Amino acid sequence: MFTGFTAETQDFLWGIRMNNDRTWFAEHKQDYLNHVQTPMKALAQEVFADYQDRCPDSGLKLRVARIYRDARRLHGKGPYKDHLWFSFVREQDGDSWQAWPGFWFEIGPETYAYGMGIYLGKPKVMEYFRQQLDTKPQTMKKLARLLDTRPEFSIDSPEYKRPKGSPPPPLDRWYNRKGLSLSCYRPWDERAFTPALAEEVKDAFEFLTPFYEYFFELCVRGTI
Protein backbone atom coordinates (compact mmCIF):
# COMPACT_ATOMS: atom_id res chain seq x y z
CA MET A 1 0.00 0.00 0.00
CA PHE A 2 1.33 3.41 -0.99
CA THR A 3 1.68 5.73 2.01
CA GLY A 4 3.28 8.68 0.24
CA PHE A 5 6.68 9.85 -0.87
CA THR A 6 8.88 11.70 1.66
CA ALA A 7 10.96 14.85 1.77
CA GLU A 8 13.94 12.53 1.33
CA THR A 9 12.51 11.44 -2.04
CA GLN A 10 12.84 14.92 -3.44
CA ASP A 11 16.19 15.43 -1.68
CA PHE A 12 17.57 12.32 -3.36
CA LEU A 13 16.39 13.41 -6.82
CA TRP A 14 18.06 16.80 -6.38
CA GLY A 15 21.13 15.05 -5.08
CA ILE A 16 21.49 12.73 -8.04
CA ARG A 17 21.02 15.64 -10.43
CA MET A 18 23.83 17.58 -8.79
CA ASN A 19 26.07 14.56 -8.07
CA ASN A 20 25.47 12.13 -10.90
CA ASP A 21 28.34 9.75 -10.25
CA ARG A 22 28.80 6.27 -8.84
CA THR A 23 30.54 7.38 -5.65
CA TRP A 24 27.68 9.64 -4.55
CA PHE A 25 25.06 7.05 -5.50
CA ALA A 26 26.84 4.30 -3.56
CA GLU A 27 26.83 6.51 -0.46
CA HIS A 28 23.11 7.24 -0.85
CA LYS A 29 21.85 3.96 -2.30
CA GLN A 30 19.85 3.11 0.81
CA ASP A 31 18.09 6.49 0.56
CA TYR A 32 17.19 5.59 -3.02
CA LEU A 33 15.84 2.19 -2.01
CA ASN A 34 13.86 3.50 0.97
CA HIS A 35 12.52 6.79 -0.35
CA VAL A 36 12.35 6.40 -4.13
CA GLN A 37 12.22 2.81 -5.33
CA THR A 38 10.01 1.37 -2.57
CA PRO A 39 7.25 4.03 -2.63
CA MET A 40 7.35 4.23 -6.44
CA LYS A 41 6.75 0.49 -6.77
CA ALA A 42 4.00 0.62 -4.14
CA LEU A 43 2.25 3.46 -6.00
CA ALA A 44 2.66 1.71 -9.35
CA GLN A 45 1.21 -1.57 -8.09
CA GLU A 46 -1.73 0.08 -6.35
CA VAL A 47 -2.69 2.23 -9.34
CA PHE A 48 -2.22 -0.64 -11.79
CA ALA A 49 -4.39 -2.97 -9.69
CA ASP A 50 -7.14 -0.35 -9.71
CA TYR A 51 -6.87 0.02 -13.48
CA GLN A 52 -6.97 -3.74 -14.02
CA ASP A 53 -10.12 -3.96 -11.92
CA ARG A 54 -11.81 -1.43 -14.19
CA CYS A 55 -10.28 -2.59 -17.50
CA PRO A 56 -9.29 -6.26 -17.11
CA ASP A 57 -8.95 -6.84 -20.87
CA SER A 58 -6.82 -3.82 -21.71
CA GLY A 59 -3.67 -5.82 -22.47
CA LEU A 60 -1.55 -3.19 -20.72
CA LYS A 61 1.51 -4.19 -18.71
CA LEU A 62 3.14 -2.38 -15.80
CA ARG A 63 6.72 -1.19 -16.25
CA VAL A 64 8.72 0.60 -13.55
CA ALA A 65 11.79 2.45 -14.78
CA ARG A 66 15.21 1.60 -13.36
CA ILE A 67 17.44 4.42 -12.16
CA TYR A 68 20.38 3.23 -14.25
CA ARG A 69 20.80 4.76 -17.69
CA ASP A 70 21.61 2.52 -20.62
CA ALA A 71 25.41 2.60 -20.72
CA ARG A 72 25.28 2.58 -24.52
CA ARG A 73 23.32 5.85 -24.59
CA LEU A 74 24.92 8.08 -21.97
CA HIS A 75 26.03 10.73 -24.51
CA GLY A 76 27.95 12.63 -21.86
CA LYS A 77 25.21 12.27 -19.21
CA GLY A 78 25.73 10.72 -15.81
CA PRO A 79 24.98 7.02 -15.23
CA TYR A 80 21.72 7.68 -13.33
CA LYS A 81 18.32 9.18 -14.12
CA ASP A 82 17.06 12.13 -12.10
CA HIS A 83 13.50 11.48 -13.33
CA LEU A 84 11.85 8.12 -12.62
CA TRP A 85 8.52 6.80 -13.79
CA PHE A 86 6.17 3.91 -14.17
CA SER A 87 3.93 3.25 -17.14
CA PHE A 88 1.15 1.00 -18.38
CA VAL A 89 2.11 0.00 -21.92
CA ARG A 90 1.60 -2.73 -24.48
CA GLU A 91 3.39 -4.42 -27.32
CA GLN A 92 1.37 -5.01 -30.45
CA ASP A 93 2.26 -6.89 -33.61
CA GLY A 94 5.99 -6.59 -33.01
CA ASP A 95 5.93 -2.79 -32.66
CA SER A 96 7.72 -0.99 -29.87
CA TRP A 97 5.46 -0.10 -26.93
CA GLN A 98 6.19 3.54 -27.86
CA ALA A 99 4.00 3.18 -30.94
CA TRP A 100 0.86 2.70 -28.83
CA PRO A 101 -0.90 4.83 -26.23
CA GLY A 102 -0.10 4.24 -22.58
CA PHE A 103 -0.46 5.73 -19.11
CA TRP A 104 2.47 7.11 -17.10
CA PHE A 105 3.47 8.70 -13.80
CA GLU A 106 6.80 10.46 -13.19
CA ILE A 107 8.74 12.12 -10.39
CA GLY A 108 11.63 14.57 -10.77
CA PRO A 109 13.37 17.12 -8.57
CA GLU A 110 10.92 19.94 -9.34
CA THR A 111 7.64 18.19 -10.14
CA TYR A 112 5.59 15.06 -10.24
CA ALA A 113 3.46 14.39 -13.29
CA TYR A 114 1.08 11.94 -14.90
CA GLY A 115 -0.74 11.48 -18.15
CA MET A 116 -1.60 9.29 -21.09
CA GLY A 117 -1.02 9.15 -24.79
CA ILE A 118 1.45 8.88 -27.64
CA TYR A 119 4.01 11.66 -27.63
CA LEU A 120 5.07 11.01 -31.24
CA GLY A 121 2.70 8.94 -33.35
CA LYS A 122 3.40 7.09 -36.55
CA PRO A 123 2.84 9.39 -39.55
CA LYS A 124 0.31 6.95 -40.98
CA VAL A 125 -1.67 6.92 -37.73
CA MET A 126 -1.64 10.71 -37.44
CA GLU A 127 -2.80 11.03 -41.04
CA TYR A 128 -5.67 8.68 -40.26
CA PHE A 129 -6.47 10.77 -37.18
CA ARG A 130 -6.76 13.92 -39.29
CA GLN A 131 -9.01 12.07 -41.74
CA GLN A 132 -11.29 11.16 -38.86
CA LEU A 133 -11.40 14.79 -37.69
CA ASP A 134 -12.34 15.85 -41.22
CA THR A 135 -14.99 13.21 -41.86
CA LYS A 136 -16.21 12.02 -38.44
CA PRO A 137 -15.42 14.80 -35.97
CA GLN A 138 -18.15 14.13 -33.40
CA THR A 139 -16.23 11.65 -31.24
CA MET A 140 -13.23 13.95 -30.92
CA LYS A 141 -15.43 16.97 -30.30
CA LYS A 142 -17.03 15.11 -27.41
CA LEU A 143 -13.62 14.23 -25.99
CA ALA A 144 -12.39 17.79 -26.45
CA ARG A 145 -15.34 19.08 -24.45
CA LEU A 146 -14.63 16.47 -21.79
CA LEU A 147 -11.01 17.65 -21.59
CA ASP A 148 -12.21 21.20 -20.96
CA THR A 149 -13.72 20.00 -17.67
CA ARG A 150 -10.24 19.13 -16.33
CA PRO A 151 -8.00 22.15 -16.92
CA GLU A 152 -5.05 20.51 -15.14
CA PHE A 153 -4.47 18.44 -18.29
CA SER A 154 -2.79 19.93 -21.34
CA ILE A 155 -2.00 18.63 -24.82
CA ASP A 156 1.77 18.46 -24.86
CA SER A 157 2.59 16.70 -28.13
CA PRO A 158 4.74 18.82 -30.50
CA GLU A 159 3.14 20.50 -33.50
CA TYR A 160 4.14 20.42 -37.15
CA LYS A 161 6.04 23.49 -38.30
CA ARG A 162 3.87 23.53 -41.41
CA PRO A 163 0.20 23.11 -40.41
CA LYS A 164 -1.72 20.28 -42.02
CA GLY A 165 -4.99 22.20 -41.89
CA SER A 166 -7.08 24.62 -39.86
CA PRO A 167 -10.35 23.12 -38.57
CA PRO A 168 -12.59 25.19 -36.29
CA PRO A 169 -12.41 24.94 -32.48
CA PRO A 170 -12.19 22.72 -30.52
CA LEU A 171 -10.48 20.45 -33.07
CA ASP A 172 -7.88 23.05 -34.03
CA ARG A 173 -5.90 22.26 -30.84
CA TRP A 174 -5.48 18.65 -31.96
CA TYR A 175 -5.26 18.72 -35.73
CA ASN A 176 -1.61 19.68 -36.25
CA ARG A 177 -0.04 17.53 -33.55
CA LYS A 178 2.67 14.94 -34.15
CA GLY A 179 1.22 12.83 -31.36
CA LEU A 180 -1.72 12.49 -28.97
CA SER A 181 -0.54 13.13 -25.42
CA LEU A 182 -2.26 14.59 -22.35
CA SER A 183 -0.24 15.53 -19.27
CA CYS A 184 -0.57 17.12 -15.84
CA TYR A 185 2.51 18.58 -14.12
CA ARG A 186 2.43 19.61 -10.47
CA PRO A 187 5.09 21.07 -8.17
CA TRP A 188 5.82 18.88 -5.16
CA ASP A 189 3.04 19.53 -2.64
CA GLU A 190 1.64 18.00 0.52
CA ARG A 191 -0.49 15.50 -1.40
CA ALA A 192 2.64 13.84 -2.78
CA PHE A 193 3.59 12.86 0.77
CA THR A 194 0.28 11.13 1.56
CA PRO A 195 -1.81 8.17 0.31
CA ALA A 196 -4.06 10.76 -1.39
CA LEU A 197 -1.62 10.86 -4.31
CA ALA A 198 -2.60 7.32 -5.28
CA GLU A 199 -6.26 8.33 -5.35
CA GLU A 200 -5.41 11.35 -7.51
CA VAL A 201 -3.57 9.22 -10.05
CA LYS A 202 -6.31 6.56 -10.09
CA ASP A 203 -8.91 9.26 -10.75
CA ALA A 204 -6.75 10.78 -13.49
CA PHE A 205 -6.30 7.47 -15.28
CA GLU A 206 -10.02 6.75 -15.04
CA PHE A 207 -10.75 10.16 -16.56
CA LEU A 208 -8.24 9.55 -19.35
CA THR A 209 -9.52 6.07 -20.23
CA PRO A 210 -12.00 7.23 -22.93
CA PHE A 211 -9.12 9.10 -24.61
CA TYR A 212 -6.95 6.00 -24.38
CA GLU A 213 -9.63 3.85 -25.98
CA TYR A 214 -10.07 6.31 -28.85
CA PHE A 215 -6.31 6.68 -29.41
CA PHE A 216 -5.86 2.90 -29.32
CA GLU A 217 -8.54 2.44 -31.93
CA LEU A 218 -6.81 5.01 -34.11
CA CYS A 219 -3.58 3.03 -33.88
CA VAL A 220 -5.35 -0.19 -34.83
CA ARG A 221 -7.29 1.21 -37.76
CA GLY A 222 -4.58 3.61 -38.88
CA THR A 223 -2.15 0.76 -39.50
CA ILE A 224 -4.52 -1.57 -41.36
Long-range contacts of 74-79 (CB under 8 A, 24+ apart): 77/20, 78/16, 78/20, 78/21, 79/20, 79/21, 79/22, 79/25
Residue 11 lies in a domain: yes
Residue 2 lies in a domain: no
Residue 194 lies in a domain: yes
The contacts of residue 25 (CB under 8 Å, 6+ apart) are 16, 19, 32, 79, 80
CATH number at residue 55: 3.30.930.20
- Residue span of the structural domain in which 139 resides: 7-222
The contacts of residue 93 (CB under 8 Å, 6+ apart) are 223
pLDDT digits over 64-83, tens only?
999 998 766 656 678 999 99
pLDDT digits over 12-28, tens only?
999 999 999 999 999 99
Residue 87 lies in a domain: yes
Q: What is the pTM of this model?
A: 0.93
pLDDT digits over 107-163, tens only?
999 999 999 999 888 999 999 999 999 999 999 999 999 999 999 999 999 999 999
Residue 1 lies in a domain: no
Mean per-residue pLDDT of the chain: 93
Q: How many domains, in total, are found in the chain?
A: 1
3-state secondary structure of 111: strand
CB 184 within 8 A of CB 207: no
Residue 145 lies in a domain: yes
Model pLDDT, residue 73:
63
